[in-house]
Structure 1
Amino acid sequence: MGVRRMVVMKKRVMVVMDEICSSRARHTMMWALTHVVNKGDILTLVNVVSPYDNGDSSFVPELLNSLGSLCKASRPEVEVEVLVIQGSKLPTILTQVKKLEVSVLVLTKRNPSLFSFCGLLRSRDDEFVEQCINNAECLTLAITKQNKGVGGYLISTRWHKNFWLLA
């Protein structure tokens, strides 16, 4: 009688924590933790600090570590790591995705405005999210928590834009 071995593939889920203090970033982190990460996976919280930062972000590692602890307390079966990297945001994220062999990249996307629906106005954050979606070498999800009255999330990927998920 043969012995069956089951190969369990860990996946690495990277969440970009741009605005660590914002509720949007925390919602995105918790959404990834509950909807994307499975037992045994690795959750990487990453924040990119500008190379021109003059010390204003010295609280970032502490705050990011406390968010990592929150994730670990919520899902002890998930490995959590925290990275604070200095560099230009887009190339740094794309490099880390490749270097760490990330399976899923999760980003926070701002609530779309009327101007963005009309294609009239795009913020730097919108451009960053679109560049990641189009250029990252993994599945990339941009998450927007809907307003309280509507509920659910808008999810954008390379194939679907602002797909509504009630979860």
Structure 2
Amino acid sequence: MQGETSSARKVMVVAEPTRESAVALQYALSHAVLEQDELVLLHVENPNSWRNTFTMFLRRPGAGSSSTMGCSDGGGGGEDFVEEMKHACKAAQPKLRVHVERVEILEGKDKASVILFQSMLLRIDLIIIGQRRSLSTAILGCRRSGGSMRGTKGIDTAEYLIENSKCTCVGVQKKGQNAGFLLNTKTHKNFWLLA
């Protein structure tokens, strides 16, 4: 029994209402987590985001948690999609320990540094984050990124975590319906894993 406890890991998946985050969770459940591991779904919420303000306005009339329909298209609020991700984890691996962490971005901080801090605070062994890459980013390299998920020093959140986390961080992209995953770590760039 001691062997099982020592081999258990804490795996964090960055949970967002995006296709990339769903791909990261799919990769984690199919290739990264084992039954004895603990899976942490981390949602970083920006309280100053116009999207969160708009979502909270839409949710107010039905303050109960039964109003999960309005925001399942990927543009919605934090609680509905994170709970859906948690249920998907339990359906895929019923014995897996899954819990949700929700944190807010504080004034003067960015998403990447908040995720990095939480990973150290929770003693995470492996971070898995969905990664969006445009053709220009792939051609020009990881240091020049476009898009809205920018981290500290002008690189995207996934690249910042890959380069700066104390534990292993895997950036995951899905290539085609059955084509597998494209993975990025500090030591392996554009590693193709067939599904």
TM-score, structure 2 as length reference: 0.74
- The percentage of aligned residue pairs carrying the same residue is 28
**Contact 2:10 2:39 (8 Å CA) reproduced:** yes
Q: Aligned to 2:31, which of 23, 26, 35?
A: 35
Q: Report the CA distance between 1:153 and its aligned residue.
A: 0.9
2:40 equivalent in structure 1: 44
1:94 equivalent in structure 2: 116
Q: Structure 1: 5+ residue runs without aligned partners?
A: none
Q: Report the CA distance between 1:57 and its aligned residue.
A: 4.8
Q: Report the CA distance between 1:51 and its aligned residue.
A: 3.5
How far apart are the structure 1 equivalents of 2:118 and 2:2?
Answer: 32
Superposed counterparts of 1:6-85, under 5 Å? 6=3, 8-9=5-6, 10-18=8-16, 20=17, 22-53=18-49, 55-58=53-56, 59-85=77-103
Q: Aligned to 1:109, which of 94, 111, 131?
A: 131
TM-score, structure 1 as length reference: 0.86
Q: 1:138 to 1:57 in 2, by over 3 A?
A: farther
Q: Does 1:147 align with 2:180?
A: no
How far apart are the structure 1 equivalents of 2:173 and 2:42?
Answer: 18
Bigger proportion of residues as helix: 2
Across the aligned residues of Structure 1 and Structure 2, the Cα RMSD in angstroms comes to: 2.1
How far apart are the structure 2 equivalents of 1:46 and 1:56?
Answer: 22
Q: Structure 2: 5+ residue runs without aligned partners?
A: 57-76, 150-154
2:189 equivalent in structure 1: 161
